[in-house]
């Protein structure tokens, strides 16, 4: 058996159980639901059929590969797209006496040499790697020559799929890296993935027969509600509900808006009611957003935000999440309500749904992001004619929109640039600075089939979200579990608006059993006031 040199104490698999390792290295006395089962599958696997893990944020995914790494003899490679997260996790592991390093573009050449030396001496148990690094054959060969790769863990695995919410082309390098390194086991992990994305992850990593662990999506602490409204009443009803929360002692919540303009209006209305409300969207400067987020973490209050408010949100006492319009997908919705009740003490999550406008607005957003083929062709022809001698276009997107307004709507510009960039026609050098390849033919080199597939997939997810908000019969939490293939629970939540309406229909039959009828009638009246007639 190989042992790591120096001050670090590495587990002898035959003398320490995973439970003992959990206590000694991580300070926990018990595993969370599903963790022990997954770790056993990693450690005991005889063949590399692969493992897919879908666990919600804060469910304890990282410990699955961290603890498994200690129970295995060789090296564990962890793929992570976030440099800051790599550093935080490596610092944490080192503080526990676990030999770990990260390898990414932030390192100096001298620091990279130190890591290469540690790899050659087999002094590492865990190495965090940015996916881009596998474009360097020398690095990959060094890993292969110097270490036995026990585990190849792909975190944020949804990024490998074009159907995921954060596709990253660099993740496509991993399939070849896995084939070359031949790890004993491959595991893909993510917080959310639709059925389509789950299958694509397994396909892209070449683990089609992967054992799947999909757990933890049931949230007994969340109460899900959909309220139908119209555009004229939506804002006043949101302000009224938020005011009621504040008056009841709730001080922290999030209001998600589909547009910046609506977010600004709601925030101003709340301020007029003397409510501590702050605005957050991508149009604000980085400094303003950072200050806003820091102050909210420290002092609480109500954040009125677009979907830009998401990365790194981990405040424990968010007691309500209101959506001022239908979210784009169930996946987005689940991520956003997942920021509530991190302490498990409960939260209400309400969607204000306008059936006349919300669905059309989301369709508009899809058309913006995935423009029609003829619009892309017209825009590309304009780019080729406009480029300077260095194949550069020195214009902002707003300026492009003005220049192209005779043949294309300005809201299509961003989507055209995005899809041309994805197909290697355009490179964004800086804001207002684009480099194009005029030698490429739009008909020969642009993947219009893929574009059509992506657009159809977005409309499919929108249809599923539409079914969610218009549903009047099925438990909303069970709808979410079915969406993510989580069949760990089949009983209704008895907390969402649908479940409550069903209970109100059946409960009066047993009214004779209620000892205090005045309280029961009051409860019915309150429920009718909140959810409408049943």
Query: What pLDDT digit, counting tens, does each position of 448-457 carry?
Result: 998 998 899 8
CA distance 388 to 403: 15
Give the right CATH number for 222-356 from 3.30.950.10, 3.40.50.2300, 3.40.50.300, 3.30.920.30: 3.40.50.300
Show the DSSP H helices in 45-97 as ranges: 62-71, 83-95
Instruction: Give the per-residue pLDDT at 380.
Output: 97
Q: Where are the domains of the chain?
A: 18-214, 222-356, 364-446, 498-534
Contacts of 451 (CB under 8 A, 6+ apart): 370, 373, 376, 419
The region of weakest confidence among 93-107, 210-224, 301-315, 366-380 is 301-315
- What is the edge-to-edge ordering of all strands in the sheet holding 392-393? 392-393, 433-436, 426-430
Instruction: Give the per-residue pLDDT at 371.
Output: 94
Question: pLDDT by residue (tens digit) across 91-124?
Answer: 999 999 999 999 988 888 899 899 989 998 999 9
Task: Using the predicted structure, report yes or no on whether residue 9 has a pLDDT greater than 50.
Answer: no
Question: pLDDT by residue (tens digit) across 184-220?
Answer: 999 999 988 888 899 999 999 999 999 999 988 899 9
Contacts of 153 (CB under 8 A, 6+ apart): 64, 65, 76, 77, 78, 79, 186, 187, 188, 189
Question: pLDDT by residue (tens digit) across 380-426?
Answer: 999 999 999 999 999 999 999 999 999 999 999 999 999 999 899 99
Instruction: Give the per-residue pLDDT at 517.
Output: 41
487 and 481 in contact (C-beta within 8 Å)?
A: yes
486 and 217 in contact (C-beta within 8 Å)?
A: yes
State how far the alpha carbon of 55 is from the alpha carbons of 58, 481, 532, in Å.
Answer: 8, 12, 35
Residue 509 — very low, low, confident or very high, per pLDDT cuts 50/70/90?
A: very low
> pTM surpassing 0.85?
no
Strand (E) or helix (H) holding 290: helix 286-299
Instruction: Give the per-residue pLDDT at 524.
Output: 47
Task: Using the predicted structure, report yes or no on whether residue 3 has a pLDDT greater than 60.
Answer: no
Instruction: At 191, list the tokens.
Output: 């917080």
Instruction: At 448, list the tokens.
Output: 């219009």
Yes or no: is domain 18-214 CATH 3.40.50.300? yes
CA 98 to chain centre: 28
Residue 15 — very low, low, confident or very high, per pLDDT cuts 50/70/90?
A: low
Yes or no: is domain 364-446 CATH 1.10.10.10? yes
Question: pLDDT by residue (tens digit) across 116-161?
Answer: 899 989 999 999 999 999 988 888 988 888 888 999 999 999 989 8
Instruction: Give the per-residue pLDDT at 5.
Output: 40
Instruction: State the residue for tokens 């999909």.
Output: 214
Task: Using the predicted structure, report yes or no on whether residue 4 has a pLDDT greater than 50.
Answer: no
For the chain, percent helix, then strand, then coil, each to nearest 5? 50, 15, 35
Task: Using the predicted structure, report yes or no on whether residue 533 has a pLDDT greater than 70.
Answer: no
Give just the sign of the alpha carbon dihedral 386, 388, 392, 395: negative
Within 10 A of 450 (CB to CB), how many other CB atoms are there? 13
Please check whether the two domains, 222-356 and 364-446, share a CATH topology: no
Which of residues 182 and 528 earns the better pLDDT score? 182
If you average pLDDT over residues 507-521, what whole number do you get? 46
Residue 47 — very low, low, confident or very high, per pLDDT cuts 50/70/90?
A: low
Question: pLDDT by residue (tens digit) across 273-300?
Answer: 999 999 999 888 888 988 888 889 888 9
The region of weakest confidence among 3-7, 67-71, 165-169, 312-316 is 3-7
Instruction: Give the per-residue pLDDT at 6.
Output: 39
């Amino acid at each position: 058996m190989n042992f790591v040199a120096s001050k670090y104490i590495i587990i002898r698999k035959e003398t320490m159980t995973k439970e003992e390792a959990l206590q000694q290295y991580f300070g926990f006395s018990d595993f969370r639901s599903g963790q022990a089962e997954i770790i056993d599958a990693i450690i005991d696997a005889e063949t590399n059929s692969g493992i897919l893990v879908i666990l919600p944020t804060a469910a304890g995914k990282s410990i699955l590969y961290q603890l498994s790494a200690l129970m295995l003899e060789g090296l564990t490679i962890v793929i992570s797209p976030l440099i800051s997260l790599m550093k935080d996790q490596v610092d944490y592991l080192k503080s526990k006496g676990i030999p770990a390093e990260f390898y990414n573009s932030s390192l100096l050449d001298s620091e990279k040499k130190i890591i290469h030396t540690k790899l050659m001496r087999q002094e590492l148990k865990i190495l965090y790697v940015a996916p881009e690094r596998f474009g360097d054959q020398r690095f990959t060969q060094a890993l292969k020559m110097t270490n036995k790769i026990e585990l190849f863990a792909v975190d944020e695995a949804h990024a490998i799929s074009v159907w995921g919410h954060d596709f990253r082309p660099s993740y496509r390098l991993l399939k070849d890296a896995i084939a070359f390194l031949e790890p004993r086991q491959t595991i893909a992990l993510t917080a959310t993935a639709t059925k389509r994305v789950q299958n694509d992850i397994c396909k892209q990593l070449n683990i089609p027969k992967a054992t799947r662990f999909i757990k933890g999506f049931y949230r007994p602490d969340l109460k899900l509600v959909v309220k139908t409204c119209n555009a004229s009443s939506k804002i006043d009803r949101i302000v009224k509900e938020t005011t009621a929360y504040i008056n009841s002692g709730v001080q922290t919540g999030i209001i998600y808006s589909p547009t910046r303009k609506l977010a600004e209006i709601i925030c101003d209305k709340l301020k007029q009611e003397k409510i501590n409300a702050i605005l957050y969207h991508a149009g604000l400067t980085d400094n303003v957003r950072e200050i806003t987020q820091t102050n909210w973490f420290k002092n609480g209050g109500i954040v009125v935000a677009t979907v830009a408010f998401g990365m790194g949100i981990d405040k424990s006492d968010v007691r309500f999440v209101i959506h001022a319009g239908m979210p784009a997908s169930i996946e987005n919705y689940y991520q956003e309500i997942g920021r509530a009740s991190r302490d498990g003490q409960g939260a209400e999550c309400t969607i204000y749904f306008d059936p006349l406008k919300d669905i059309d607005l989301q369709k508009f957003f899809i058309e913006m992001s995935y423009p029609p083929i003829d619009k892309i062709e017209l825009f590309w022809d304009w780019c080729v004619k406009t480029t300077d001698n260095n194949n550069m276009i020195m214009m902002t997107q707003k300026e492009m929109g003005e220049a192209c307004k005779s043949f294309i709507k300005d809201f299509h510009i961003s989507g055209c640039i995005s899809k041309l960039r994805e197909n290697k026609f355009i490179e964004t050098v800086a804001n207002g600075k684009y480099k194009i390849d005029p030698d490429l033919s739009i008909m020969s080199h642009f993947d219009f089939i893929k574009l059509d597939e992506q657009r159809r997939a977005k409309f499919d997810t929108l249809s599923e979200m539409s079914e969610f908000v218009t549903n009047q019969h099925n438990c909303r939490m069970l709808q979410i579990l079915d969406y993510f293939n989580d069949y760990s629970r089949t009983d209704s939540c008895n907390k969402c608006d649908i479940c409550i309406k069903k209970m109100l229909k059946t409960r009066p039959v047993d009214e004779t059993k209620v000892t205090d009828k005045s309280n029961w009638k009051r409860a019915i009246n309150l429920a009718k006031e909140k959810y409408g007639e049943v």
